[in-house]
Amino acid sequence: MTAKKIVHITTVHHPLDPRIMLKECQSLADAGYDVTLIAKKYNDVPNNVSGVNYIGLRSAKRRFISMFLTPIQAYLTAKKMKADIYHFHDPEFLPFAKFLKKPSNKVVYDIHEDYETGIVTREYFTYPIRKMMSFLYKRIENWAVKGMEIVLAEKYYQEKYPDGTQILNYPRIENADSPRTPRDFANNHELLYTGNITEDRGAFQHALLPIHLEGIDVTMVGKCPAHLYKAMKDAAGSFSDHLTVVGVDRFIPKGEIDEYYLADRWIAGVALFPDSDHYRRKELTKFFEYMYHGLPVVCSNFPEWKAFMHKYNCGLTVDPDSPEQIKEAVNYLRDNPEEAREMGENGFTAVLETLNWRVQAEKLIALYENRKKGTG
């Protein structure tokens, strides 16, 4: 029997995006599907990545032009492939995905973000334009998604999409049965942040940490625009040597990020995001990554983040704009290495037992095969 042909499409994300390539596409290829990813062209990405075919799209240098031309390219390429299932990841592609839908195939819209609120935070447009774009997006989405399957990366998205299937962004577990030595937090003096670096993800809250925390270095690993990097260094002032940013104007592959996780010098993983409608209820992927690598978490004290840390006893929450609270939390972990180790182990155990990708991959395959699978 011929394997089902699956085509994943992204016009925005890097082809090695952890959720798209490393979790969804590779899990599907491992399960025996014929999987192709259509994404922007990167010369350093091979045509086949662990059993997943990759088709690169050349994009215009100007962002505004690329926003229109790349989805058209992706649509024309995908249409020729006559796939059994098309699975796309970006709202820009919604109108084109509508025309991929046939009675004989399935189209899946993978909602990574709460785009309705997320658009309002995009600072490259004025606020009235952002509000109008958010309104128009919701109207286009309501029209386009009829007849499609919807996949949700966050639990709370279910409120907006009651018929969606939760495929949560939990980490893949590698070598779970291998012997593992718990971290030794004695004398650790650095904080780690991973993931894209933007103002709404706390770029300046993290850049100011060396000023507030005597003798503490901060390492941030993730794509960061050059202009923002300069502004962060300026904000750190005479303490800028204690702020390291890895990923200025470049995508950081998951394997490179993992090398930083394995270092044994971290007090905690941090996520000091300023308050916003867009992030207040999200369970950040970095939470699960920190937990999987045995790091306690220090994050903003949003009610749902606070409840999450309490449930798993894996970290501390603070007001992201309170140097006093941040200092108290970090110093507590630094001065109590056994407590830090226990929080890290609690997080690791939670990921090992429930918060991992294995069950999510099973739900994705069940969706593809029209089988029922729980939402946990």
Maximum Cα interatomic distance, the chain, rounded to a whole number of Å: 65
What pLDDT is recorded for position 120?
A: 43
Cα–Cα distance between 148 and 138 in angstroms, integer?
A: 15
Q: Give the whole-angstrom CA distance, residue 265 versus residue 263.
A: 6
pTM as predicted? 0.90
| Same-domain status, 205 and 338 | yes
Question: Does the structure show a pLDDT above 60 at 324?
Answer: yes
The answer to whether 184 touches 337, Cβ cutoff 8 Å, is yes
224 - beta bridge partners? 248
- Please count the other Cβ atoms lying within 10 Å of the Cβ belonging to residue 370: 8
* 333 shares a domain with 274: yes
Q: Which residue type, as a one-letter code, is found at position 227?
A: H
What is residue 370's predicted lDDT score, i.e. its pLDDT?
87
Indicate whether 152 and 299 sit together in one domain.
no
pLDDT digits (tens, 9 = 90+) for 140-199: 788 888 999 999 999 999 998 999 999 999 999 976 655 677 788 998 999 999 999 999
CATH of the domain at 320: 3.40.50.2000
Does 247 fall in a domain? Answer: yes
pLDDT (0 to 100) of residue 150: 96
Q: Tell me the DSSP string of 226-239.
A: HHHHHHHHHHHGGG
Tell me how many domains the chain contains. Answer: 2
Residues 313 and 233 in one domain: yes
Is the pLDDT at 125 greater than 70, yes or no? no
Residues 82 and 101 in one domain: yes
Residue of 115 and 119 predicted with greater confidence: 115
Residues 119 and 50 in one domain: yes
Least confident segment among 26-35, 37-46, 114-123, 327-336: 114-123
pLDDT at residue 15 is higher than 70: yes
pLDDT at residue 62 in the model? 72
Average pLDDT, the chain: 91
Please count the other Cβ atoms lying within 10 Å of the Cβ belonging to residue 112: 21
In a shared domain, residues 246 and 144: no
**Would you say residue 301 has pLDDT above 90?**
yes
pLDDT at 246: 98
- DSSP-derived 3-state class of residue 51: coil
The CA–CA distances, whole Å, from 16 to 12, 24, 38, 212 equal 12, 11, 11, 36
Span 348-357, average pLDDT: 96
Q: What is the pLDDT of residue 129?
A: 65
The pLDDT > 70 percentage for the chain reads 91
Residue 373 reports pLDDT greater than 60? no
- Same domain for 10 and 121, yes or no, is yes
Of the listed ranges 31-40, 138-147, 297-306, the one predicted with least confidence: 138-147
Q: Are 283 and 155 in contact (CB under 8 A)?
A: yes
Q: Is residue 182 part of a domain?
A: no
Residues in CB range of 65: below 8 A, 6 or more apart: none
What confidence score (pLDDT) does residue 132 get?
Answer: 72
Q: Coil, strand, or helix at residue 37?
A: strand
What does the pLDDT look like over 36-95, one tens digit per residue?
Answer: 999 999 999 999 999 999 999 987 777 666 778 899 999 999 999 999 999 999 998 999
Residue 133 has pLDDT above 80, yes or no: no
Range of the domain at 125: 5-170+356-368
Which DSSP string corresponds to 60-107? Answer: -SSHHHHHHHHHHHHHHHHHHH--SEEEE--GGGHHHHHHH--TTSEE
pLDDT of 345 > 70? The answer is: yes
Most confident of 120-129, 183-192, 265-274: 265-274
DSSP-derived secondary structure for 199-233: GGGTHHHHHTHHHHSTT-EEEEEEEE-HHHHHHHH
Quick one: pLDDT at residue 124? Answer: 55
